[in-house]
Amino acid sequence: MRKLLKYMNEYKKEAFLSPFFKMVEAIFELFVPLVVAAIIDNGIGRADSSYVVKMALVMFALAAVGLVSSLTAQYFAAKAAICFTSKVRRALFEHIQKLSYSELDKVGTSTLLTRLTSDMNQMQNGVNMVLRLFLRSPFIVFGAMIMAFTIDTRSALIFVVTIILLSAVVFGIMMVCIPLYEKIQLGVDGVLSATRENLSGARVIRAFCNEESELRDFEDKNAILTALQNFTGRISAMTNPLTLLIVNFAVIVLIYTGGIEVNSGLITTGEVIALYNYMSQILVELVKLANLIITVTKAAACGDRIEAVLEIEPSLTSPDEEVKGSGKYIVEFKNVGLRYRGASKDSLTGLDLKVKKGETVGVIGGTGSGKTSLVDLLARFYDATSGEILINGVDIKEYPQPQLRSLFGVVAQKSALFKGSIRSNIRWGKADASDSEIMAALDAAQAKEFVEKKEGVLDYMIEQGGKNLSGGQRQRLTIARALVGDPDILILDDSSSALDFATDAKLRKTLRNRFSDKTVFIVSQRTSSIQHADTIVVLDDGKAVGIGKHEELLKTCGVYKEIYDSQFKKEAVS
Amino acid sequence: MKGKKKTARKGALKKTLAHVSRYKLMIAASILLAAGTVTLTLYVPILIGRAIDLIVGKGSVDFEAMLRILAKAAVLVCATAVMQWVMNIINNRVAFLVVRDVRNEAFAKLQTLPLSYIDSHVHGDLVSRIIADVDQFSDGLLMGFTQFFTGVVTIIGTLGFMLSLDWMITLVVVILTPASLFIARGIARSTFEYFKTQSEIRGEQTALLDELITNQRTVKAFAHEEQAISDFDEINERLTKASVKAVFFSSLTNPSTRFVNSLIYAAVALCGAVAIIKWDLITVGELTCFLSYANQYTKPFNEISGVITELQNALACADRVFELIEAEPQTPDKENARRLQNAVGHVELKDVSFSYTPDVKLIEHLDLDAKPGMRIAIVGPTGCGKTTLINLLMRFYDIDSGSVSVDGTDVRDITRSSLRRSYGMVLQETWIKTGTVRENIVMGKPDASDEEIRAAARATHADRFIDRLPEGYDTVISDSSSLSQGQKQLLCITRVILSLPPMLILDEATSSIDTRTEAIIQASFAKMMEGRTSFIVAHRLSTIREADVILVMKDGHIIEQGAHAELLKKGGSYAKLYNSQFDV
């Protein structure tokens, strides 16, 4: 949490003034019992009505000054807390943009989202509370004690003992309860995931008639949660009665000693009353302080989590200076291997591959054979753990990221579209693409026809995640998005899986005719999609078991033949 | 609209009370204890006041009388503490138990809701009803119990005690108190708008973040980072401004009410002191007592107004939960419904029409006669009604007209559980329950022996990866665990192979399994389908070719029907579809 404080630098003034004005308010509040004591001793004691009125006016004034300083404090607190959080949020978002795939994999999307949203809100709340209350409560508690000392030392000792006892009770119970609350949260999470799972598996659960056992499981989880809540409730329920008990006993002792002191003429009746009033003030503030500490611990935990993400170093760095490459091959893999962080096995080993400009490369293999790893390495979404990859004869690590990205058009397995018009989505590939360029890309991606049928054509608004389009339509738009930037290398990662055979074939035909100068990598499970490629790479368990043309591979590569046969066997017969 | 909302809230209140009333005894005890606690708490200041009155001045303190009073106070304080503790425990208990009941009911309801309800509601929303809303509801309930009771009793009690001391000063307190309430109300009302703006912008920001972070890979692939940051900045800027306003204005409440309370306090001090000096109506001890009452009296008002907002919130949440609990369940099985056992597998659809929404027609006048043991492949573009057909076969949805029958009995005359047990279903979207591999496999046959389970896993070659898992069949897995989509699908197939029901539904059952593994498990598949009526949805034409009947569907109709060779010869849409895969 500490390292986040640098984002507060700009708001130092606010962060200082807020507690300062809170302190001013507290000081004025502490004067009130003294004024009451004066009313009783001087006003009532001497039957002086005008003195009483004067003192009442002083109390009004104290209240008014208190109000003004407290309002000022609230304003500065709100401003400092919110602006601080806003800075941190921006810093975090910016940082996430710098992370590479492998860090994103490690942290996970849902974690990042929680950090950016609810953790931020909790932290903001915590900072705000600290600025507002963290100083006020101690001011009042210790202030009351000090005021007690100014009245009477012997009685003030009662304050010292009371404060120690109260703190022990309040903080002791809190210490016991905080870990219990965490356990409860785990219980709630368990109940939550059980519910979510039940919904997503509704069909399967019903198909196997497992409703009863699901309900039993849930009731068990729920019962455990309730038991835990009750247990914790029993402990936290002690706070109030115990604190009241302590304070009331303190009052009783205070009155008794006060009686002795008055009897021997050391203090006045009014002063005993003032001491009594201070005692009541302490109780209220300590309870507030305890609640505050819970909020603050939570907020600090959120801050720590945010800081942890901010401290992740982006593992991919790239130089700033553009490079100009040339060479016989546009893409060259030299003994390339990849092992994902935390994995026990390589996902890709010892891959050698040379590709000339304008060639089409087909990549085929079973699930988990390393197809996607190959193209992810090529676009430098991950760094190879061994070997090197050259583009136009230059190691891809020497390319600045933006230059490297501009060389590629990537269509990923999962087609992601964003809320906004079709136009703005396609422009991801080229920020200043004209409508005619966009239409050309749509046409090539076999998307023109359905786009033209949409209301507003290019202005048609896509909902979040592309929910208002079918899977095939989404996929074609992502292909158009990759084409519009006119990249040198096009990567299609299993990107025609949602297209029917006819559309898929038409798409490949267009790519070959209209984009013959482009180097294309096609990843697929279908032999039909890649059999006409210039080079086919057959992957099995991370290794290239065959590289060559279709006919060659049918003869030489057992794995390829097996895949081909599994898809076309009967055809040869009929 | 507003009226409707109000009755909904009233309904929710009634239902909440119905749930709470199961714990009548505890609640009665809680109310009694609350009354006792408050009375004693209020009585203590009076005793203290009396004790103070004995402290007259130097040398004239009556210690004996004072000790008597203080001892009495000590006993009362102890009694109060015990009562309060017991009351707190009871309140917690009631709130937690009610929440447990409501959650169990809601979850039980999920099991009997028609699938159309689950399909048409966002799951996140349903989950938040059962979890977040119920939590909010429990908080409201708890606060209601603890603070509402004690608050009301405190107000009444304080008023009574004050009146017994002096009616004039009481009047001052009673007249001035509402001021703090008005101020709190006023601030809350004007802050509401600011909060609304804030949460709107926050929602906007969350949506943007959700979209960008979820698709961070795409953002990177298109070097879109700069643009993303500037989009983010724009919203972040607006959010900051709106938040400062909302937070500042809402934070006015406390200082303002505190100010009013101070005024009341000063007024009581003034009136009390003057009353003593001029008319000698009360004692100094009684004035201290008044002052501590003045502090206490305003507090429950603020608390209660807080509780009321909280309760309103809680009722709104309760309403959402009850809406779920009271949703129309699926039509129950008929009383004399038949239990389908050892089905032969003759499935017949006659003149079936069905649509999800009345205005978008989907399946119309569909006829299909699946003879026992037949293998039926369903082909067609997305949205043609393939998955819908499965929904109807499994009776996940009820048809609008016509009839679906199994072995000559209309499915509506068969119990749902026996119908579904007669089908083995593997869907494209795999679902893994959080639990061990074994638990996942035995879903359809809970009493399967270890040997049976292993045999089933061998048949699908799932044993290969299961054996490599850290704890084999006892490894706990879940939907989000690191199994690949293909491995999950193998597990789902294993489930069906284990229970081996008389009819099968395979909806893209092997879509995520690579073709090599698929070829390897083909034998098990063939064996499984032998003599079983099977409905197969597939993209891969290699899978489809071997079917006895191929149904080509389009827009809810069967446009072609026949065996592979037959349809190829016919040269219709199937032939076109089939040939397109070779056309490059």
- pLDDT over 90 (residue A88): yes
Judgement on whether residues B258 and B303 belong to the same structural domain of the protein: no
CA distance A492 to A512: 13
CA distance B5 to chain A (A): 28
State the pLDDT at residue A486. 87
From B63, B82, B542, residue closest to A566, measured CB to CB:
B542
For the record, the structure tokens of A323 come out as 């490079």
Q: Among A35, A97, A132, A228, which would you mutate to test the B interface (most chain B Cβ atoms within 10 Å of its Cβ)?
A: A97
Nearest CA in chain B to A277: B292
Q: What is the pTM of this model?
A: 0.72
User: Hey, which residues does B423 pair with through a beta bridge?
Assistant: B503
pLDDT tens for each residue of A310-347: 998 888 788 888 888 787 888 899 999 888 776 656 78
Write out chain A residues lying below 8 Å of B263, CB-based: 60, 63
Six token digits for residue A268: 């006045």
User: Which residue in this structure is represented by tokens 């009245």?
Assistant: A151
Phi, psi of B498 (to 5 degrees): -70, -45
CATH number of the domain that residue B305 is part of: 1.20.1560.10
**Dist CA B118 CA A357 (whole Å):** 52
| CA distance linking residue A257 with residue A274, whole number of Å | 14
At residue A357, what are phi and psi to the nearest 5 degrees? -60, 135
Average of pLDDT values for A111-123? 85
Residue whose pair of structure tokens reads 């309140």 in the numeric block: B91
Distance (Å, whole) CA B143 – CA A240: 14
- Could B56 and A269 be called an inter-chain contact, meaning their C-beta atoms sit closer than 8 Å? yes
How many domains does chain B fold into? 3
Nearest CA in chain B to A376: B221
pLDDT at A36 over 80: yes
Q: Is A509 on the interface with B (CB under 8 A)?
A: yes
* A1-139+298-316: in CATH 3.30.465.10: no
How far does B97 lie from chain A, in Å, by closest CA?
7
Q: Are residues B199 and B160 in the same domain?
A: no
Mean pLDDT calculated for residue range B42-52: 87
Hey, are the CB atoms on A259 and B55 less than 8 Å from each other?
yes
* Collapsed DSSP state (helix, strand, coil) of residue A108: coil
Across the interface, of B78, B269, B276, the residue whose CB is closest to A59 is B269
Q: Is the pLDDT of residue A293 over 80?
A: no
Whether the CB-CB separation of A566 and A528 falls below 8 Å is answered with no
Reported as type and span, the H/E element at residue B125 is helix B123-128
Residues 6+ apart with CB under 8 A from B434: A193, A194, A197, B476, B477, B478, B479
Q: Where are the domains of chain A?
A: 1-139+298-316, 153-266, 331-573
B543 lies in a domain? yes
Q: What is the DSSP string of A164-179?
A: HHHHHHHHHHHHHHHH
Tell me which residues of chain A, numbers 305 to 364, contact chain B at a CB-CB cutoff of 8 Å. Answer: none
Among A62, A245, A472, the residue with its CB nearest the CB of B77 is A245
Q: How far is A295 from A298, CA to CA, in rounded Å?
A: 5
Secondary structure, 3-state, B459-503: HHCHHHHHHHCCCHHHCEECCCCCCCHHHHHHHHHHHHHHHCCCE
Per-residue pLDDT at B383:
64
pLDDT score of B539: 66
pLDDT at B514: 67
Q: Is A525 on the interface with B (CB under 8 A)?
A: yes
Q: Is residue B342 part of a domain?
A: no
* Residues 6 or more apart in contact with residue A22 via CB below 8 angstroms: A69, A70, A73, A131, A132, A133, A135, A136, A139
Are the Cβ atoms of B213 and A213 closer than 8 angstroms? Answer: no
Q: Are residues B152 and B181 in the same domain?
A: no
- Antiparallel, parallel or unpaired: β A461-462 and A420-421: antiparallel
Provide, as residue numbers in chain A, all residues whose Cβ is less than 8 Å from the Cβ of B81.
Answer: 241-242, 244-245
For residue B146, pLDDT over 80 is answered with: no
- At A179, phi and psi to the nearest 5? -65, -30
Contact A202/B118, CB-based, under 8 Å?
Answer: yes
**Containing domain of residue B87, as a range?**
1-165+284-289+299-329
Task: Please choose, from the candidates B542, B482, B525, B512, the residue with its C-alpha nearest in 3D space to the C-alpha of residue A366.
Answer: B512
In this structure, are residues A195 and B131 in contact, taking their beta carbons and an 8 Å threshold? yes
Give the confidence band of A509 by pLDDT, cuts at 50, 70, 90. Answer: confident
Q: How many CA atoms lie within 13 A of B444 on its CB side?
A: 27
Q: H helices of A345-500, where?
A: 371-378, 401-407, 422-426, 435-444, 448-453, 471-484
Q: Check CB contact of A248 with chain B, cutoff 8 Å.
A: yes
Residues B66 and B176 both lie in one domain: no
- What are the tokens at B142? 């708890």
With a CB cutoff of 8 Å and minimum separation 6, the contacts of B41 are A244, B80, B154
To test the contact with chain B by mutation, choose from A32, A203, A275 the residue with the greatest count of B C-beta atoms within 10 A, namely A203
Q: Convert the pLDDT of each residue in B383-426 to its tens digit.
A: 677 888 888 999 989 999 999 999 999 999 999 989 998 998 88
Residue B47: HSE in the Cβ half-sphere, 13 Å Cα cutoff: 24
Residues B119 and B198 in one domain: no
Q: Given the DSSP bridges, would you call strands A519-524 and A489-493 parallel, antiparallel or unpaired?
A: parallel
Average the pLDDT over A271-280 and give the result: 86
Residues B416 and B503 in one domain: yes
Considering CB atoms only, which of A66, A188, A505 is closest to B131?
Answer: A188
**Residue A297 confidence class, pLDDT cut points 50, 70, 90:** confident
A241 and B84 in contact (C-beta within 8 Å)? yes
Chain B residues whose CB is inside 8 A of the A59 CB are: 262, 265-266, 269
Contact B386, B507 (CB under 8 A): yes
How far is the alpha carbon of B2 from chain A, nearest alpha carbon, in Å?
Answer: 31
Q: Which pLDDT band, with edges at 50, 70 and 90, does B236 fall under?
A: very high
DSSP string of B512-554, one letter each residue: TS-HHHHHHHHHHHHHHHTTSEEEEE-S-HHHHTT-SEEEEEE
Tell me which long-range contacts B28-33 makes (C-beta under 8 A, separation of at least 24): B29/B86, B29/B90, B30/B87, B30/B90, B30/B91, B30/B94, B30/B145, B30/B149, B31/B149, B33/B83, B33/B84, B33/B86, B33/B87, B33/B90
Rounded CA-CA distance B338/B118 in Å is 27
B48 and B158 in a common domain: yes
Query: Do B161 and B177 reside in the same domain of the chain?
Result: no
All residues of chain B having their beta carbon less than 8 Å from the beta carbon of residue A255 are: 48, 51-52, 55, 66, 70
Average pLDDT, chain B: 84
Residues with Cβ < 8 Å from A41, sequence gap 6 or more?
A: A268, A269, A270, A271
Q: How far apart are CA B99 and CA B380, in angstroms?
A: 48
Residue with tokens 């408050």: B38
pLDDT on residue A570: 43
Q: How far is A193 from chain B (nearest CA, A)?
A: 9
Residues 6+ apart with CB under 8 A from B469: B437, B475, B477
Q: How sure is the predictor about A289, in pLDDT bands with cuts at 50, 70 and 90?
A: confident
The reply to whether B511 and B483 lie within a common domain is yes
Least confident of A83-87, B20-24, B177-181, B251-255: B177-181
The pLDDT score that the predictor gives to residue A426 is 92
* Of residues A96, A545, A539, the one with CA closest to residue A306: A96
Judgement on whether residues B442 and B457 belong to the same structural domain of the protein: yes
For residues B264 and B362, membership in a common domain is answered with: no
- The reply to whether A450 touches chain B by the CB within 8 Å rule is no
Mean pLDDT of B239-261: 87
Nearest chain A residue to B71, by CA: A252
Distance from CA of A277 to the nearest CA of B (A): 8
For domain A331-573, the CATH superfamily is P-loop containing nucleotide triphosphate hydrolases (3.40.50.300)
Q: Which residues from chain A sit within 8 angstroms of residue B546, using beta carbons?
A: 570
Give residue B385's region: left, alpha or beta (phi > 0; psi -120 to 50).
Answer: left
Determine which of A359-363, B126-130, B295-299 has the lowest per-residue pLDDT on average: B295-299
CA distances to A32, A50, B19, B130, B343 from A59, rounded to whole Å, are 7, 14, 50, 51, 90
Q: Which residues of B touch A202 (CB under 8 A)?
A: 110, 115, 118
Lowest mean pLDDT among A425-439, B4-18, B449-463, B471-485: B4-18
**In terms of domains, do B17 and B92 share one?**
yes
Report which of A97, A464, A480, A494 is spatially closest to residue B219, judged by C-alpha positions. A97
CB contact (8 A) between residue B100 and residue A222: yes
Angle at the Cα of A221 from the Cα atoms of B90 and A205, rounded to 5 degrees = 140
Q: Mean pLDDT throughout B536-561? A: 80
